[in-house]
Amino acid sequence: MPNQSRVLMQGNEAILEGALAAGMRFYAGYPITPSTEIAELAAERLPKVGGRFIQMEDEIASMAAVVGGSLAGVKSMTATSGPGFSLKQENLGYAIHGDIPCVVINVQRMGPSTGLPTSPAQGDMQQARFGSHGDYGIIALTPSSVSEAYYLTIRAFNLSEQFRVPVILLTDEVIGHMREAVSLPDPSELTVAERRKPTAPKGEHKPFAPDAKGVPTLPNFGDGYRFHVTGLIHAEDGFATSNPKLVDQAVRRLTNKITDNIDEIYEAEQREIADADIVVFSYGGTARAARRAVRMAREKGLKVGFYRPITIWPFHDEMVRNAIAGKKAVIIPELNLGQMAREVERVAHGTTTVIPVTKVTGEILTPAEILAAIEEVR
Amino acid sequence: MPNQSRVLMQGNEAILEGALAAGMRFYAGYPITPSTEIAELAAERLPKVGGRFIQMEDEIASMAAVVGGSLAGVKSMTATSGPGFSLKQENLGYAIHGDIPCVVINVQRMGPSTGLPTSPAQGDMQQARFGSHGDYGIIALTPSSVSEAYYLTIRAFNLSEQFRVPVILLTDEVIGHMREAVSLPDPSELTVAERRKPTAPKGEHKPFAPDAKGVPTLPNFGDGYRFHVTGLIHAEDGFATSNPKLVDQAVRRLTNKITDNIDEIYEAEQREIADADIVVFSYGGTARAARRAVRMAREKGLKVGFYRPITIWPFHDEMVRNAIAGKKAVIIPELNLGQMAREVERVAHGTTTVIPVTKVTGEILTPAEILAAIEEVR
Amino acid sequence: MAIAGKIPTRKYLRQDRLPHIWCPGCGHGIVMQALVRAIHNVGLSQDKTVIVSGIGCSSRASGYMDFDTIHTTHGRALAFATGIKMANPELNVIVMTGDGDASAIGGNHLIHAARRNIGITCICLNNNIYGMTSGQFSPTTPECALATTAPYGVIDPSFDLCKLVQAAGASYVARGTAMQARMLEKYITNALKNDGFSFIEAIDQCPTYFGRKNKLGDAYAMMKRQQETSVSVSKAAAMTPAELEGKQVVGELWNSPRPEYAKSYDQVIAKAQQGGGR
Amino acid sequence: MAIAGKIPTRKYLRQDRLPHIWCPGCGHGIVMQALVRAIHNVGLSQDKTVIVSGIGCSSRASGYMDFDTIHTTHGRALAFATGIKMANPELNVIVMTGDGDASAIGGNHLIHAARRNIGITCICLNNNIYGMTSGQFSPTTPECALATTAPYGVIDPSFDLCKLVQAAGASYVARGTAMQARMLEKYITNALKNDGFSFIEAIDQCPTYFGRKNKLGDAYAMMKRQQETSVSVSKAAAMTPAELEGKQVVGELWNSPRPEYAKSYDQVIAKAQQGGGR
Amino acid sequence: MTALATERKPRLFTVEVNTTYCKGCEICVQVCPKNVLAMNDRLKANVVNLKDCTGCLNCEIYCPDFAINVEEVEANA
Amino acid sequence: MTALATERKPRLFTVEVNTTYCKGCEICVQVCPKNVLAMNDRLKANVVNLKDCTGCLNCEIYCPDFAINVEEVEANA
Amino acid sequence: MTQIMLTGSGGQGMILAGIILAKAGILDGLNVTQTQSYGPEARGGASRAEVILDTDEIDFPKVVAADVILAMTQEAADKFSPKLRAGGTLIVDPAGVHTVPAVDGKVHVVEITKLAKEVTGRTVSANIVALGAMNQACSLVSPAALAAAVADSVPKGTEAVNQKALAAGIAAIGA
Amino acid sequence: MTQIMLTGSGGQGMILAGIILAKAGILDGLNVTQTQSYGPEARGGASRAEVILDTDEIDFPKVVAADVILAMTQEAADKFSPKLRAGGTLIVDPAGVHTVPAVDGKVHVVEITKLAKEVTGRTVSANIVALGAMNQACSLVSPAALAAAVADSVPKGTEAVNQKALAAGIAAIGA
Ligand SMILES: Cc1ncc(C[n+]2csc(CCOP(=O)(O)OP(=O)(O)O)c2C)c(N)n1
Ligand SMILES: Cc1ncc(C[n+]2csc(CCOP(=O)(O)OP(=O)(O)O)c2C)c(N)n1
Ligand code: SF4
Ligand code: SF4
Ligand code: SF4
Ligand code: SF4
Ligand code: SF4
Ligand code: SF4
Ligand SMILES: [Mg+2]
Ligand SMILES: [Mg+2]
């Protein structure tokens, strides 16, 4: 086709293409609707660029293999949906605890349990933050368009390498299966972050000694550093410790490396907040309907603003509070029973009324439904 | 020993004895520190009372077997800790979605990942609520003494049967491994709830039609009702549906049956809140240190109250808000990075200052540390 | 008038749930009917029999059968079934599973159920593909076949499930194909009679994904082909590995009763109640 | 002066991590040494070899060995190892696992790694017990033995891991005991030379839990006993199943090279780059 | 069968296709040894040659959709 | 070995026990064919009969704690 | 903004038709979204593709009030025709739709399947015939863009036959 | 409230001793808690049991300032003696503790292991000897309760020998 720069792509396809552009060369997965196209495309495209695809026996093994691939020095990813995301939690926690970069795509479908496999939902929002045991920090990004799915996947890999943390691309069936025009950039225009390698001589490298940002450097297995990785709480040398001070440092660092760098990690779209009485706070596929509703409201002369977190974890308490404090209400439409609304309520500190607009019928929220909620405020 | 009524028991032992007293007759588990004694005692005690114990191949299978056992009509349970709790999440979600009564013990150890297996922690508090994908309600109870571990385990079974929901006993290594005197009641003194059986004739029984409380009745497999259970979203007849109205009903009911009955489910210990300037809000093993700190503070003439949620999920927004609103501060000591503090902050609505006291060194919080936090308020 | 030997299969089905969701020509219906016929042969009570399935096209079978039925999570049917059998050993427990369900994500439960020899009859509807998710290869997809996740042909060696399950400890193991539905019925009948873990691999066809992708023709053509590549146990005994390449051995492959697990537990109860142990 | 044939094992250990945490007399140290000796025999580069382990006493081995090492989650070592090998096939990947780690929670990864014949050498330190968690029975605990979760004796039939792994597709399978440490070294050496999935079951002793609970005497007594109940492959061939009851067959049980999985994937890459597929 | 006869009487059968269940896979057509069945233009199985039916039950057993029911007609009905 | 001798010279060995590593399991004592080792009262292995050592390496190979190191003494050292 | 629904049953190529239309929209420099709805099962049943074409940024990617609906089956016609906006266009294939639902708008009855069979010998090109008819009736995208999008999307070797199908659809509506 | 620590190495039975003491406390009608600390590994290393006896409700179950510490090994003595409150009692077994740490309180050096060996022929009863000595030195529980608790806790058939060990411990401190 002549107009090469704009290509029709499905969300799942954009994710895979974004991953390839970010340098992903190892994919381990297990099929599950509605994420399966990502695996299928990985199987087709990876060997063409010299990468490798493996279909593992289950999601637990997929997550494990991704961690292994990453330690072997290859940017690695997996994709799944609800039930598979639940299964990955233990090894996802391992990756977090071991500061191991990787990207996990969750194309959300409706739960709980097997749920409605082909229906859109946003029900894994809190699970993305708290699904594994113990305390940790994590990054989760949420695209609202196919094009954004492409770019956020690249960003997911970049953040993952920069902060040595698994990054969740928490998308949904709406985005995953929608087709839109994506303007594919020239690879040279992309910013692709690479893993920071140690500079210390081999004998002296401390594999978990943080830099100023709290992030250690990471050699590849095979580079000759002969380091140790464990799921036990470990000191900077990588070996298990129960020294209370070192334990405290180790555990807090996992959260602090995210929260301390939140301004670098966090992204949100804000529209017409300044003069607004009401803010519609929405993310992912639902944000499309919300943005339309906001336009419709503005057309009706209502002063409504729009806040769309693109990074949903970490949650930027301060920025959100600034955006909503003193407003008449903040309306939070989402395809779940108010999971994002909990967070907004938490940071609102009573400075505004938090109105969840929830939908769990297996269908998406419509602009009309959101507009109705807007109009109901007073 | 003469004084039969008071027996020295370990927390894990009290849990198992409580379970037996509640009628638990099937245990499926996989060993993991610091919960293992529960399995070991189950293996020894169950056959003596005609019950059955099975050591499954892993935690996923254990959770599955417990659901199977429950459907076969036997009160069933499993016990685990962090990594195992993560693995159980998918099938726990299945049990929730299928309204299947069962009890899951999580004796928390320090995470994330393998963490510090023998150290106490309270890091799975949010996971207990949000660990599985999709939207649901759940009940989690947290004992602060060995004796309470006994009685709460019975209560866990009772609530589980009454509301047809898995109940999590979220305890910790402190309680699990501590020994205290437990006054064992005469079995006749105990309230033991039994599953509500259908009264409709076999052909007409709708296995997921809610009663006034939102809870369906449940025959045993083998009773002749020939009903169907599925992880797909299902109508009241138990069969998969994608009818938006029915889907909405089905999904909301899972949460509503908990939140609508919160006053029946919720328990908290409150001491000297009325005149207090400061409330110490604490749960589980940590509450022991907190209660001591509150006494010490009172001895010093400080007006400090004590709030201990025994039911930690559902979270009783209103009761907590009433207890803390207008206080100078609410102090929340916990062995994690502020997971309970998030909830309190959410419901505080800015009416008080929320002060988390977190500890993740692998050690428990001491009364002195909590007292110091109390004294620091102004 | 009923034909002599004709089995009233409809009685065992939830007819209000039909037509089922399976594609035209899908072999799962044929295997399900063979199971129903076997249940009738053995005379299992509909009220005392539980059908357990995992997730997959095949696993949807439970919803169509008029028993207590449970459609569990992907790969875990045998673990749920183990709980049912242990909690109430009086129940007849039958598991219906797919090749993906049983041998990919569920492989561990399969070998452990076999090892314990727990009283469950497990029927694996092996169509060599993940049907439900639209055609990815499974651990039983033949090498070189095409699948959506193997666009260049499968390089993964495929499991001989019967061999695996036998090595793990099952006491009854048989393999049949949809085209040999009457034999399948016989194997399942014998399996249901075995007090222990019985495994039946029922090779059937997914014309929609496996057939189409690999240009194998319509459902009947696929069935014929499966029959043609089948070799009976007795014939196979006289064949070399090279001759057996690309063929599957059908028939009763292993039948060696040993103590059923839930019954063995009765002895634990007896011992405990006599004050033994520790 | 080095004794002829003496292997400088210390070079392969992280001596600053010693003494290790294993109990007095625990067999894991003996097996670990056998592995180190085999690595030396084959001449694997310390910089290009990765040791992967799961969780368990046995799985603590990785921390003591001077290579790139990863102590993963319980049961998943082979899945992590598969990722490492696939992402960089140049690395030598060795998995150290326990009987619980490999065959209880990790059973599925074991059979799938074997099926794929991926280039990993897997050493299972089989002490017939969950040592780390203080003595629960494992899938390899012999029937009737006592364990903390089997106070009335184990009723679970135990796995023949070598048989299972062979049925699943491994290309090299051997069994040895700690008492036969030099043979074990030889098997591991051959396993490391096999380009594919190699499995070595190393039977060793947990005097602390398995030994004490079952009154088997001290470490050496346990080792002796394991040796005494061992039968070589050649001898076993002439024995009846009844005679083999309670014995384990030691030696090289299976050695049948076939294409290594990561190498097979090279052909996928070649095909894809030549524009094949779909 | 109510009538016992020493002489082989021709047996009669009914073959009923439930068109709500039938998905048109053609398996019944192909497994019928007597060409009793054929597909109609609505892609459903159709009985076209009932008289040749031997009551072998192939069509019923192999129909994946439980769409076929074969019964014997009483000889003296 | 530097010296080649046609006649069998008695070979000499050193057997060194690292007492920090030794956990007193007694395996070395039991696998030594020459009773070179014995346990001392601190429950550590001790060399009590070095002269009989044949350098068979059993003790080193079977010590689970990497506590033993056997070396040969140069004949002419 | 133009909102289009292509409805029929699984296997009739409605999704591919939607993709082709979306691609044509891109060639015309429009913003496009294409979505589809699944039933609870992946297999069988009704199939629906939706396409939105707009010169502006497209917020909501689903059809709220359809400008054009193509219905290949009765079930689809009955289920989706209420979504047609007043004055919109309903195109039905009489091979599947026996009773045309009453709508407040234009109705074209086009022998889509029959034409496909006639022109290409196979009914699988019906979706391409339909595209030609729809575009001719409603001028959704430029004819050149549509032809190019068809060429880009159909299996290699079937380009010519599909252009014939497209032309047949266009001709069925006439100028 | 009385806070007691029993410290030694794994296998010396400190936890069992703590349990016995706690049981005796119950027999005396006291409130009790008994806890223990593990190292990062389940095996080997130091072992510590803590017991609190109180007439009141016991909030915090861990020892903050010990009234009594029993130390069976040097490592334990060095590590835990700083926990002794001023005026508390430290009881050490010279078999394991070669250098008695300086404490602000009473110190009893009791040949616990030696006595156990002498009286029972086996060192495993050292923990019972220690209990006798501790209780005689500090009057933690009633002698009758302690004797009953020992009887209730030791393996069947070893009751007599353990009562001897207990008596030996008591005698070692004297009246
Ligand atoms: C945990 C989890 N992972 C993945 C899936 C997606 N999934 C559903 S069915 C299936 C494969 C089914 O294949 P098989 O068991 O062979 O059944 P078939 O559909 O071929 O009959 C998969 C991967 C799921 N539902 N749950
Ligand atoms: C998911 C999970 N479940 C359970 C455990 C607890 N656990 C740790 S090691 C182990 C058993 C180890 O047995 P084995 O592999 O035989 O090793 P050994 O200690 O005997 O050498 C168990 C059950 C865990 N760490 N993680
Ligand atoms: S996709 Fe395949 S397995 Fe599934 S119903 Fe269709 S034919 Fe059967
Ligand atoms: S518990 Fe057993 S396996 Fe673990 S270190 Fe001790 S002896 Fe070895
Ligand atoms: S076999 Fe059944 S579904 Fe197939 S065509 Fe015949 S009647 Fe119809
Ligand atoms: S019963 Fe036999 S002969 Fe009669 S229609 Fe069916 S297949 Fe044909
Ligand atoms: S074998 Fe090793 S650890 Fe055991 S006693 Fe001898 S030197 Fe010590
Ligand atoms: S080398 Fe052989 S002879 Fe010498 S001490 Fe060791 S075991 Fe004994
Ligand atoms: Mg299949
Ligand atoms: Mg073991």
| A231 lies in some domain | no
Q: Is the dihedral of CA A325, A329, A334, A337 positive or negative?
A: positive
3-class SS of residue D123: strand
Q: Quick check: CB of B31 below 6 Å from ligand 2?
A: yes
Q: Does H29 touch chain A (CB under 8 A)?
A: no
Q: Where residue H41 falls among pLDDT bands split at 50, 70, 90?
A: very low
Nearest atom within ligand 6 for CA of residue E28: 7
Asked if residue A1 has pLDDT above 50, the reply is no
In the predicted model, what is the mean pLDDT of chain A?
Answer: 97
Q: Identify all chain C residues contacting D100, using CB atoms and an 8 Å cutoff.
A: none
- Complex ipTM value: 0.97
Q: What percent of chain D has pLDDT over 90?
A: 96
Q: Does D50 touch chain A (CB under 8 A)?
A: yes
**A vs D: CB pairs below 8 A:** 145
Split into its structural domains, chain A has a count of 2
pLDDT digits (tens, 9 = 90+) for E47-56: 999 999 999 9
- What stretches in chain D show pLDDT beneath 70? 1, 276-278
Q: Please check whether residue A210 is in contact with residue A260, taking contact to mean a CB–CB distance below 8 angstroms.
A: no
Q: Distance between CA D109 and CA D77 in Å, rounded?
A: 8
pLDDT digits (tens, 9 = 90+) for G60-112: 999 999 999 999 999 999 999 999 999 999 999 999 999 999 999 999 999 99
Q: What percent of chain A has pLDDT over 90?
A: 97
Q: Identify all chain H residues contacting D208, using CB atoms and an 8 Å cutoff.
A: 43
Q: Distance between CA D214 and CA B295 in Å, rounded?
A: 50
pLDDT digits (tens, 9 = 90+) for D108-142: 999 999 999 999 999 999 999 999 999 999 999 99
Nearest atom within ligand 6 for CA of residue E55: 1
Burial readout C18-47 (b: 16 or more C-beta within 10 A, e: otherwise): bbbbbbbbbbbbbbbbbbbbbbbbbebeee
Is there a contact between B87 and A87 if contact means CB atoms under 8 Å apart? yes
Please state the rounded mean pLDDT for residues H4-28.
Answer: 95
Long-range (24+ apart) CB contacts under 8 A made by H96-101 are H96/H8, H96/H9, H96/H71, H96/H72, H97/H71, H97/H72, H97/H73, H98/H74, H99/H74, H101/H77
Split into its structural domains, chain H has a count of 1
CATH number of the domain that E36 lies in?
A: 3.30.70.20
Beta carbons within 8 Å of C186's beta carbon, 6+ residues apart: C38
Nearest atom within ligand 3 for CA of residue C27: 8
A272/A185 same-domain check: no
- Give the number of the ligand closest to the Cα of residue C19: 5
Tokens matching residue A136:
């940790």
| CA-wise closest residue to A358 among B231, D227, B135 | B135
Is there a contact between D148 and B36 if contact means CB atoms under 8 Å apart? yes
Burial readout H131-162 (b: 16 or more C-beta within 10 A, e: otherwise): bbbbbbbbebbeeebbbbbbbebbeeebeebb
Q: Please check whether residue D27 is in contact with residue D125, taking contact to mean a CB–CB distance below 8 angstroms.
A: yes
| F53 lies in some domain | yes
With contact defined as 3+ CB pairs under 8 Å, the chains touching A are B, C, D, G, H
Tokens matching residue C263:
């019954």
- Give the number of the ligand closest to the Cα of residue F35: 8
pLDDT digits (tens, 9 = 90+) for B151-184: 999 999 999 999 999 999 999 999 999 999 999 9
Q: Does D232 touch chain H (CB under 8 A)?
A: no
Q: Please check whether residue H6 is in contact with residue H70, taking contact to mean a CB–CB distance below 8 angstroms.
A: yes
Residue owning tokens 């009890």 = B103
CATH number of the domain that B159 lies in?
A: 3.40.50.970
Asked if residue C278 has pLDDT above 80, the reply is no
Asked if residue A3 has pLDDT above 70, the reply is no
Q: What is the pTM for the complete model shown?
A: 0.97
| CA-wise closest residue to D22 among D247, D251, D224, D209 | D209
A168/A273 same-domain check: no
Is there a contact between C25 and E25 if contact means CB atoms under 8 Å apart? yes
| CA-wise closest residue to B138 among B150, B154, B126 | B126
Q: Please check whether residue A222 is in contact with residue A72, taking contact to mean a CB–CB distance below 8 angstroms.
A: yes
What residues have their beta carbon closer than 5 A to ion ligand 10?
D 98-100, 127
- Domain carrying residue E28: 17-73
Of 2.40.400.10, 3.40.50.970, 1.20.80.10, 3.40.47.10, which CATH number belongs to D23-273?
3.40.50.970
Q: Identify all chain D residues contacting A70, using CB atoms and an 8 Å cutoff.
A: 83, 87
pLDDT digits (tens, 9 = 90+) for B229-266: 999 999 999 999 999 999 999 999 999 999 999 999 99
| E3 lies in some domain | no
Q: Quick check: CB of C131 below 6 Å from ligand 3?
A: yes
pLDDT digits (tens, 9 = 90+) for D135-179: 999 999 999 999 999 999 999 999 999 999 999 999 999 999 999
Nearest CA in chain H to A244: H40
Q: What percent of chain B has pLDDT over 90?
A: 97
Instruction: Check residue D277 and give its pLDDT.
Output: 57
Q: Distance between CA D75 and CA H5 in Å, rounded?
A: 38
Instruction: Check residue A134 and give its pLDDT.
Output: 98
3-class SS of residue G66: strand
Determine the length of chain H: 175
| B18 lies in some domain | yes
Q: Quick check: CB of F56 below 6 Å from ligand 8?
A: yes
Q: Is the dihedral of CA D244, D248, D252, D253 positive or negative?
A: positive
CATH number of the domain that H148 lies in?
A: 3.40.920.10
Instruction: Check residue E77 and give its pLDDT.
Output: 44
B275/B140 same-domain check: no
Q: Please check whether residue A217 is in contact with residue A73, taking contact to mean a CB–CB distance below 8 angstroms.
A: no
H-D interface (Cβ pairs under 8 Å ≥ 3): yes
Please state the rounded mean pLDDT for residues F13-35.
Answer: 97
End-to-end CA distance of chain B: give it in Å, rounded: 52
pLDDT digits (tens, 9 = 90+) for A93-139: 999 999 999 999 999 999 999 999 999 999 999 999 999 999 999 99
Q: Distance between CA H8 and CA B370 in Å, rounded?
A: 30
Closest protein CA for atom 4 of ligand 6 = E53
| E53 lies in some domain | yes
Is there a contact between G43 and C133 if contact means CB atoms under 8 Å apart? no
| A123 lies in some domain | yes
| E10 lies in some domain | no
CATH number of the domain that A313 lies in?
A: 3.40.50.920
Instruction: Check residue C4 and give its pLDDT.
Output: 80
| F5 lies in some domain | no
Beta strands in chain B (DSSP E): 6-10, 26-29, 52-55, 76-80, 102-110, 116-120, 139-141, 166-172, 179-183, 228-230, 268-271, 278-281, 304-309, 311-313, 329-334, 353-358
Q: Distance between CA C90 and CA C96 in Å, rounded?
A: 19
| B205 lies in some domain | no
C-G interface (Cβ pairs under 8 Å ≥ 3): yes
B171/B306 same-domain check: no
Beta pairing class for A52-55 and A26-29:
parallel
Helix H126-138 and helix H159-173: axis angle, to 10°? 40
**C vs G: CB pairs below 8 A:** 11
Q: Please check whether residue B364 is in contact with residue H62, taking contact to mean a CB–CB distance below 8 angstroms.
A: yes
Q: Distance between CA C265 and CA B51 in Å, rounded?
A: 10
Tokens matching residue A238:
């990588």
List Cα–Cα distances, D104 to A335, D128, D139, in angstroms.
Answer: 39, 11, 6
Nearest CA in chain H to D135: H42
Domain residue spans in chain C?
Answer: 23-273
Q: How far is CA C48 from the centre of its chain?
A: 20
Split into its structural domains, chain E has a count of 1
User: Of the residues A134, A167, A189, which one is the last residue of a structural domain?
Assistant: A189
User: Of the residues B155, B171, B189, which one is the last residue of a structural domain?
Assistant: B189
User: Of the residues A189, A204, A223, which one is the last residue of a structural domain?
Assistant: A189
3-class SS of residue A279: strand
Angle at D258 between CA D253 and CA D260, to 5 degrees: 115
Q: Identify all chain A residues contacting G6, using CB atoms and an 8 Å cutoff.
A: none
pLDDT digits (tens, 9 = 90+) for C129-175: 999 999 999 999 999 999 999 999 999 999 999 999 999 999 999 99
A69/A166 same-domain check: yes
Q: Distance between CA B168 and CA B166 in Å, rounded?
A: 7
Is there a contact between A36 and C136 if contact means CB atoms under 8 Å apart? yes
Which of B242, B243, B246 should one mutate to test binding to chain G, selecting the residue with the greatest count of G CBs within 10 A?
A: B242
- Domain carrying residue H28: 2-173
Asked if residue G39 has pLDDT above 80, the reply is no
Q: Where residue B3 falls among pLDDT bands split at 50, 70, 90?
A: very low
In the predicted model, what is the mean pLDDT of chain C?
Answer: 97
- Domain carrying residue A105: 5-189
